[in-house]
Amino acid sequence: MGANQSSAEYRQPSTEAPPAAVWVAQFGDLLFRYALLRVVDRGAAEELVQETFLAALQGRDKFKGQSEFSTWLVGILKYKILDHFRRGRRNQTETLPEDPVVDAMFSAHGKWKKFPRRWHVDPQDSAMDLELLPALERCMEALPESQRQAFVLSVMDDEQPTVVCKMLGISSTNFYVLLHRARLRLRDCLEKKGFGQSDAMKGG
């Protein structure tokens, strides 16, 4: 009965934050994976998580129980990551570098050398998700930082293009180029790892 009661108490909505002593054990891995997928660098991800816990500790009275505590922590971490992106862009110019990996996908006349296969990954397939996420993490690691930032903010965090441009200090033209390059790289990388085939190709 004790175990069932404990489980029920854990699921019960609360307006109080869990004890700070258990934050790392309960939420550390979740926050670290969230940060690592976005900044790739393990040291930076660990530092961002530490900053998140510190900010949560200092502002824990602001948690009103209107969402899960883990969601509240992720919200704090998200803003820490945005600050991290801003710091990284502060001393960079907006000149858009060439991308030899993407350029190699096209001929000198701008035609596809090999047209990408139809990308078919079922978001409802939980088994696929378990396989896809680690592969996506590895592919994200290979993205140039500027492309990764544009992709993360726009696609993963669902920020509006105007907001992303302001965050990264880039023009809308450069934003769409970065996003396009990131998608091409990720699709190519995931296809090489066996993701993205059509149903017919899977069943073949």
Average pLDDT, the chain: 73
Q: Phi and psi of 112, rounded to 5°?
A: -60, 130
Structure tokens at 153: 């903010």
Instruction: With CA atoms as reference, report the closest residue to 175 among 198, 195, 159.
Output: 159
Angle in degrees, CA 43, 44, 46, rounded to 5: 65
Mean pLDDT within 27-46? 89
pLDDT score recorded for residue 27: 92
As a whole-number percent, the residues of the chain with pLDDT over 90 amount to 17
Query: Over 70: is that where the pLDDT of 90 sits?
Result: no
Whether residue 63 is predicted with pLDDT greater than 80 in this model: the reply is yes
Q: What is the CA radius of gyration of the chain?
A: 20
Q: Is the pLDDT of residue 104 over 60?
A: no
Could you tell me the pLDDT band of residue 116, with boundaries at 50, 70 and 90? Answer: very low
Q: Alpha carbon of 54 to those of 32, 47, 58, 154, 170: distances in Å?
A: 14, 11, 6, 27, 31
Higher pLDDT, 50 or 146: 50
Q: Is the pLDDT of residue 80 over 50?
A: yes
| CATH 3.40.50.300 is the classification of domain 2-89 | no
Which bin fits 93, alpha (ψ -120 to 50), beta or left (φ > 0)? beta
Model confidence pLDDT, tens digit, residues 170-195: 899 999 899 888 888 888 888 887 77
* pLDDT tens figures, 194-204: 776 433 334 33
Q: Which CATH number fits domain 100-203: 3.40.50.300, 3.30.70.120, 2.40.50.140, 1.10.10.10?
A: 1.10.10.10
The sign one gets for the Cα dihedral 122, 39, 55, 89 is: negative
- Annotated domain spans of the chain: 2-89, 100-203
Confidence category of residue 168, pLDDT binned at 50, 70, 90: confident
pLDDT at 136: 79
Predicted confidence band at 149 (pLDDT cuts at 50, 70, 90)?
A: confident
Question: Band of the pLDDT at 52, cuts 50, 70, 90?
Answer: very high
Q: pLDDT higher for 77 or 9?
A: 77
